[in-house]
Amino acid sequence: MLTEQTDQKAEKHSKRLMKLVSQKQGIEKLLTVMQALRDPLGGCDWDLKQNYQSIIPFTIEEVYEVVEAIELEDFEGLKGELGDLLFQVVFYAQIAKEEGRFDFYQIVDVLCEKLIRRHPHVFSDAQFENGAQLSQAWEEQKQKERQQKSGINQSVLDDIPKSLPELKRAQKMQRRAAKKGFDWQDVSQVWDKLKEESAEVLAAAEKQDSAAIEDEIGDLLFTVVNLARHYGVDSDIALRQANQKFEQRFRQVELIADRPLTDYNQQQLEVFWQSAKKKLNQSE
């Protein structure tokens, strides 16, 4: 009898939530769905167990799925992936609301205030003669915001997340430093640095010093990122494209071979590789 009453109560609560959701539209509907998923009485057990930290992997995954949809020009898929990404924001907002920290609307308010503050040429009478002045004003405003957070002069590097992929983080640090004048004056200097770092890797390798090899390869990678930045190339995107190109070609090599690749020598594998490149270029 008690179980039957509990089931009836749960069913009644579920119907109430569904009716509440059906009465909403747009972002209000999504917020209501999220609230229902976290409802202690009739919500989803999995959603109820989540916290800020546990959602992080899903947030990162959704970002990459958005990127992939854009790269594939799958705009129908992009619509769904952007929805999944928005859901992550709403999830964090719901947890924060339950803890009395902030809610979704406060997130939106903070964002709008920041965008208005950082675009005085759009939302006030401020004028800039060129893109360089606009970029300088943008960086100065961001620096003011950093100082306001702690009340002291902070480094321009302080708010670069340490959780960023390292290529992206290196590029961001270099860009910030360059805006303060800490940069190579000419790309030829970066090429010279690249040669220097390559030589240092080789020297460490000849000494078979594993710690030094790791350190020097790190310097070499950092310099490659610098080189990419000077040519206006996003190193993270460039590496992503290189990975995709390698994957396509390697898969083609696997199709060409009629035995395990370990059965072939270096010269035979090179023939397969060149054949794969040629076939893929023709298909493009």
Query: Which residues constitute the domain of residue 97?
Result: 2-120
Number of domains within the chain: 3
**Closest among 144, 158, 156 to 181, alpha carbons compared:** 156
Q: State pTM to two decimals.
A: 0.68
Together in a domain, 221 and 244: no
85 with 175, same domain: the answer is no
In this predicted model, what pLDDT tens digit does every residue of 138-177 receive, in sequence order? 777 777 776 666 656 578 888 888 888 899 999 999 998 9
Tokens matching residue 227 = 């080189």
10 pLDDT above the threshold of 70: no
Q: How confident is the model at residue 5 (pLDDT cuts 50, 70, 90)?
A: very low
CB burial readout 92-127, b (16+ within 10 A) else e: bbbbbbeeeeeebeeeeeeeeeeeeeeebeeeeeee
- Asked if residue 148 is part of any domain, the answer here is no
Q: Which residue is listed with tokens 């709403």?
A: 90
Same domain, 215 and 247: no
Residues 114 and 14 in one domain: yes
Percent of the chain with pLDDT over 90: 66
d(CA 6, CA 9): 5
Domain assignment present for 133: no
pLDDT at residue number 133: 74
Model confidence at 75: pLDDT above 90: yes
Q: Which two tokens stand for residue 72?
A: 């594939």
Pair (179, 247) in one structural domain: no
> pLDDT confidence of 23, banded at 50, 70, 90?
confident
pLDDT, tens digit (0-9, with 9 covering 90-100), for 208-267: 999 999 999 999 999 999 999 999 999 998 999 999 999 999 999 999 999 999 999 999
Could you tell me which residue, 132 or 44, shows the higher pLDDT? 44
Is position 99 within any domain?
A: yes
Is residue 275 domain-shared with residue 228, that is, in the same domain? no
Helix (H) or strand (E) holding 89: helix 75-98
Is the domain of 225 the same as that of 270? Answer: no
Helices (H) and strands (E) in the chain, counts: 13, 0
pLDDT tens digits, 86-108:
999 999 999 999 999 999 999 99
Of the chain, the end-to-end C-alpha distance in Å amounts to 69
Name the nearest CA neighbour of 27 among 97, 101, 108, 96. 108
**Residues 188 and 253 occupy one common structural domain:** no
Most confident option among 30-34, 68-72, 102-106, 240-244: 102-106
Question: Angle formed by the axes of helices 131-150 and 104-118, to 10°?
Answer: 130
Write down the pLDDT at residue 2: 42
pLDDT band at 50; cut points 50, 70, 90: very high
Cα dihedral 18→19→21→24 (10° resolution)? 170
110 and 33 belong to one structural domain: yes
Give the CA-trace dihedral at 149, 153, 159, 162, to 10 degrees: -120
Is position 131 within any domain? no
Residues 107 and 14 both lie in one domain: yes
